[in-house]
Structure 1
Amino acid sequence: MAEDSRMIVSRIGETDQLFLQQNTPALALERASLRLQLVHVSHSRAEQIHFLQEAIVLLEQARIEFEEMPLNLYLELSIQLARTYLSYFEISQEQRFALITQQILKPLTIYENAEIYFLLAHASLGKNETAMTRHWLNKYSKSNQFDPILLNQHPAFQSLKQHEWFATLIKAHLN
């Protein structure tokens, strides 16, 4: 096991012990994040799916278990949950995970969060919904956090480079 993996597993043990003492939304977020880190260092599809499923359970449970939490923490949990489902989609190529991502995030668009728009665009593309992808990318491009370099280099959006509207979106923000 690589040193990075050992450190992650060690921290998982620590946070799981903290969970037994008292769970909080922030702790659930950290516990899920650690499992997602293991997804990225694992080379085994079965391990990746296992860690994704654990992260999903932790995040889903935290979103419903705590009746009161600050809005920004709820948004963080929701965005992390959406990222987790998108990772699951990337590994499995099952469109239902892109759909779940959309179902999590669409109600949250009222908060005009750039990452929500970006993730919705990614999920829409995963479902081959080019018009919706374009819609969410246009909203993303109007936010202060728009990153044309990230968008241009992100592997999920490579197929869009052939579209004139995508090139125009990128170029308009690079000048």
Structure 2
Amino acid sequence: MRLNSQQIIERLGETDQLYLQGNTPELALERADLRLQLVSLSQFYQEQVHFLQEAVVLLEQGRVEFEEMPLRLYINLSLHLAKAYMIFFELTKEPRYALITQQILKPMTHYEHGEIYFFLAYASVSKNEPALTRHWLKKYSTSSEFDLGLLQQHPAFEAYRSLEWFEKLLKSKMH
């Protein structure tokens, strides 16, 4: 369920109060996710950057502050962090944010999680690395998290849609 900005701000206040009672990785993830939602709702660049910076800090802290957490939660924190950096890239067009995404996720490829592959492909296309883009998209296409609609509609892959290998990849998933 997508919340409106008033509901997000109310929940933000609630989760910030919960943080004062003690932090958990789940709480860090929720607090960062709320900020990422505000980024998507905001029309103001400075506001977007502010919420992105807060989200990054919360996610980085959540990934390292706790000695033990379920693997799925660690992956979710990392994927949200990658998402935050790619939003930074979209706002600024600075390739360093795509590089940071690659640095966060590349060590995690042994988990064989499709969303990790997707964000690595997204970062690679953003850095104009066609061979790596193809590599990560091929891995993504064989994962259980593969989303054909996302790949067909994501604007980052527009330049690849007419390439033979990309068309074959899409066709292989349509049947």
Length-normalised TM-score, structure 2? 0.96
Question: What is the alpha-carbon distance in structure 1 between the residues aligned to residue 53 and residue 142 of structure 2?
Answer: 34
Unaligned runs of 5+ in 1: none
What are the residue-to-residue correspondences of 1:1-175 with 2, within 5 Å? Answer: 4-175=4-175
Q: Deviations over 1:94-147 (max 9, x none)?
A: 000000000000000000000000000000001000100000000001112222
Return the TM-score normalized by structure 1.
0.96
* Distance in structure 2 (CA, Å) of the matches to 1:93 and 1:109: 25
Residue identity (%): 62
Q: Distance in 1 between matches of 2:173 and 2:25?
A: 36
- 1:10-64 deviation line (CA, Å, top 9, x unaligned): 1111000000001000000000000000000001111111100000000001111
CA RMSD across the alignment: 1.0
User: Which residue identity lines up with residue 169 of structure 1 in the other structure?
Assistant: L
CA distance in structure 2 between the aligned counterparts of 1:25 and 1:35, rounded to whole angstroms:
16
Q: What is the aligned residue count?
A: 173
Per the TM alignment, residue 92 of structure 1 is displaced from its structure 2 partner at its CA by 0.8
Q: Deviations over 1:58-86 (max 9, x none)?
A: 00011111111111111111111111111
The 1-side partners of 2:125 and 2:45 are apart by: 23
1:55 aligned counterpart, secondary structure: helix
Q: Which amino acid aligns with 2:83?
A: R
